[in-house]
């Protein structure tokens, strides 16, 4: 994995620290790093050039405010410009047509057209309460017709039968007629793809477009296609008036630079992102989050700032010294640590700063549970006496530990097991602290503070 843009800029920042504004001389090196990062994220070269120019125009002369340094200011300009380039706001499907609204799917073979057709059917049924019909005009691969049948059933939509001996245009007209007579709201037309652009394929899809006059013509493109995406996009843009883009396979390793190239070349909004092979693996595209991904896995700068803002470095040092001097980490310190977490804005705040795929892994349910756990722990620690907190041994192996724990449990409104659990966690923490003896924690925090 290439180093993130933020890491690269941080290295440079050392040389430009202390400068109050972004100037021609300090911006050059930084822009070179931005350029490398974009190329590594598979953004096409001409798109990168344009982009860098725009960022430079915006950045030059910018004042560097407060605790930020020029590198951080530049990252934030790049982030904003990336998000703006990839589209702002949410662009949902346009269904403003005499029913049925026709959606034509275009793209290379393997891009994910058939899968996306079914995902969209599901989206339209569930989110917009539409009656949806799908049809395949791919007469070259009988398996493609069967595949659409299967995934359409999974989506809970209806499928219109077609056979390889028909002409694509006849299939489309028959499906349209059926959709009209059976009051479908939306007709999704899956089309043939080839492994590479060829004129016959383009002529065929142009003909389908002219015949159907769809309200949406969606270009489906594989994010893993990287640099090639720009050529494919250009060919489809020349053949068809595209109204939107679906970027598939964003769950893969691709840094998603294709989004920028495709958007720039077609001028069409990126409407959806495919994030798994499964039928529900479709998300409305979020340019802001995606910008973070292109930049290198989330805006770590924002995360670091958030984390260090609430941290009291003096308190951290005192704690480190306490550990070092051998007086030990007690329950008072444990309680203080929870307080620090709260000051940082809680877990939710931090999660918002993480890259999408990491945040998705943790999930809202886990987050709610963790926040609740934190509040409960705080309640239990507060129910202890100051003496108990300063001398955890009273609770861990003191003679009256059972009655003390019962009293604490009652005070906090929890079961005794919960008190034991907190004490276990405390002991684990204490072990960790012993390992960090020598100021490890303080060093770690200082490093984060930059």
Task: Report residue 244: phi and psi, to 5°.
Answer: -170, 165
Number of residues that bind ligand GDP (CB under 6 A): 18
Minimal distance, residue 164 CB to ligand GDP, in Å: 15
Rounded to the nearest 10°, the torsion over CA 82, 84, 89, 91 is -80
Considering the rule CB under 6 A, would residue 154 count as an interface residue with ligand GDP? no
Nearest Cα neighbor of 311 from 322, 320, 324, 298 is 320
Minimal distance, residue 316 CB to ligand GDP, in Å: 43
Beta bridge partners of 217: 104
Site string for ligand GDP, 64-103 (x = CB under 6 A): ----------------------------------------
Q: CB-wise, 290 or 405, nearer to ligand GDP?
A: 290
Considering the rule CB under 6 A, would residue 104 count as an interface residue with ligand GDP? no
Q: What is the 8-class DSSP label of residue 215?
A: S
Considering the rule CB under 6 A, would residue 232 count as an interface residue with ligand GDP? no
Q: CB-wise, 136 or 261, nearer to ligand GDP?
A: 136
CA pair distance 261, 225, nearest whole angstrom: 11
CA pair distance 91, 88, nearest whole angstrom: 8
Minimal distance, residue 252 CB to ligand GDP, in Å: 6
Any binding-site annotation on 193?
Answer: yes
Nearest Cα neighbor of 36 from 255, 253, 252 is 255
Beta bridge partners of 132: 186
Could you say which residues in the range 246-285 bind ligand GDP, by CB under 6 A? Answer: 248-249, 251-252, 274-277, 281
* Interface residue with ligand GDP, options 19, 23, 62, 109 (CB under 6 A): 109
Count of residues making up the chain: 450
Q: CB-wise, 55 or 223, nearer to ligand GDP?
A: 223
* Interface residue with ligand GDP, options 71, 100, 112, 269 (CB under 6 A): 112
Q: Which residue is nearest to ligand GDP (CB)?
A: 274
Q: Detail the DSSP E strand segments found in 19-167.
A: 101-106, 132-136, 158-160
* Interface residue with ligand GDP, options 35, 95, 110, 173 (CB under 6 A): 110
* Angle formed at CA 430 by CA 428 and CA 434, multiple of 5 degrees: 120
- 78, 295 contact by CB (below 8 A): yes
Any binding-site annotation on 251?
Answer: yes
Q: CB-wise, 115 or 430, nearer to ligand GDP?
A: 115
Q: CB-wise, 134 or 248, nearer to ligand GDP?
A: 248
Any binding-site annotation on 192?
Answer: yes
Q: Which residues of 148-173 are buried (b: 16+ CB within 10 A; e: fewer)?
A: bbebbeebebbbbebeeeeebeebbe
* Interface residue with ligand GDP, options 79, 113, 122, 255 (CB under 6 A): 113
Sheet holding 216-222, edge to edge: 158-160, 132-136, 186-190, 101-106, 216-222, 244-248, 270-274, 282-284
Beta bridge partners of 272: 246, 284
Residue 60, token pair as written in the block: 């030059």
Considering the rule CB under 6 A, would residue 115 count as an interface residue with ligand GDP? yes
* Interface residue with ligand GDP, options 34, 82, 103, 111 (CB under 6 A): 111
Minimal distance, residue 145 CB to ligand GDP, in Å: 11
Site string for ligand GDP, 420-439 (x = CB under 6 A): --------------------
Minimal distance, residue 201 CB to ligand GDP, in Å: 12
Nearest Cα neighbor of 184 from 121, 123, 116, 130 is 130
Minimal distance, residue 148 CB to ligand GDP, in Å: 8
Minimal distance, residue 138 CB to ligand GDP, in Å: 8
Minimal distance, residue 112 CB to ligand GDP, in Å: 3
Any binding-site annotation on 113?
Answer: yes
CA pair distance 55, 78, nearest whole angstrom: 6
Could you say which residues in the range 177-206 bind ligand GDP, by CB under 6 A? Answer: 193
Could you say which residues in the range 281-310 bind ligand GDP, by CB under 6 A? Answer: 281
CA pair distance 389, 396, nearest whole angstrom: 11
Beta bridge partners of 159: 134
Name the site residues for ligand GDP (rule: CB under 6 A): 107, 109-115, 193, 248-249, 251-252, 274-277, 281
Q: Enumerate the known binding-site residues.
A: 107-114, 190-194, 248-251
Known binding-site residue numbers for GTP: 107-114, 190-194, 248-251
């Amino acid at each position: 994995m290439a180093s993130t843009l933020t890491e690269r800029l941080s290295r440079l920042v050392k040389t430009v620290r202390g400068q109050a504004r972004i100037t021609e001389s300090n911006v050059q090196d930084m822009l070179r790093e931005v350029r490398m990062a974009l190329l590594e994220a598979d953004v096409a070269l001409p798109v990168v050039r344009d982009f860098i120019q725009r960022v430079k125009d915006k950045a030059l002369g910018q004042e560097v405010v407060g605790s930020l340094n020029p590198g951080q200011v530049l990252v934030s300009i790049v982030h904003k410009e990336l998000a703006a380039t990839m589209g702002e706001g949410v662009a949902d499907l346009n269904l403003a047509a005499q029913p049925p609204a026709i959606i034509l799917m275009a793209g290379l073979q393997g891009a994910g057209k058939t899968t996306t057709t079914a995902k969209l059917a599901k989206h339209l049924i569930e989110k917009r309460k539409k009656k949806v019909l799908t049809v395949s005009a791919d007469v070259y691969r009988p398996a493609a017709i069967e595949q659409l049948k299967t995934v359409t059933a999974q989506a809970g939509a209806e499928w219109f039968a077609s056979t390889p001996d028909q002409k694509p245009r006849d299939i489309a007209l028959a499906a349209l007629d059926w959709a009209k007579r059976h009051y479908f709201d939306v007709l999704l037309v899956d089309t043939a793809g080839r492994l590479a652009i060829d004129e016959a394929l383009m002529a065929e899809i142009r003909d389908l477009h002219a015949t159907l006059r769809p309200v949406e013509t969606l270009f489906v493109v594989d994010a893993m296609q990287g640099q090639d995406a720009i050529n494919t996009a250009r060919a489809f843009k020349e053949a068809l008036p595209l109204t939107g883009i679906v970027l598939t396979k964003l769950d893969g390793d691709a840094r998603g630079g294709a989004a920028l190239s495709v958007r720039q070349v077609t001028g069409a909004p990126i409407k959806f992102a495919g994030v798994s092979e499964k039928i529900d693996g479709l998300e409305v595209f979020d340019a802001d989050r995606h910008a973070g991904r292109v930049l290198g896995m989330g805006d770590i700068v924002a995360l670091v700032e958030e984390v260090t803002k609430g941290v009291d470095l003096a308190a951290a040092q005192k704690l480190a010294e306490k550990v070092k001097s051998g007086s030990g980490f007690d329950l008072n310190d444990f309680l203080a640590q929870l307080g620090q977490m709260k000051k940082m804005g809680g877990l939710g705040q931090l999660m918002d700063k993480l890259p999408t795929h990491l945040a998705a892994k943790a999930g809202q349910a886990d987050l709610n549970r963790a926040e609740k756990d934190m509040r409960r722990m705080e309640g239990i620690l507060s129910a202890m006496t100051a003496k108990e907190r300063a001398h955890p041994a009273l609770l861990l192996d003191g003679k009256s530990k059972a009655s003390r724990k019962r009293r604490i449990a009652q005070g906090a409104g929890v079961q005794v097991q919960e008190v034991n659990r907190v004490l276990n966690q405390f002991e684990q923490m204490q072990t960790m602290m012993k390992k960090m003896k020598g100021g490890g924690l303080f060093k770690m925090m200082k490093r984060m503070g930059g």
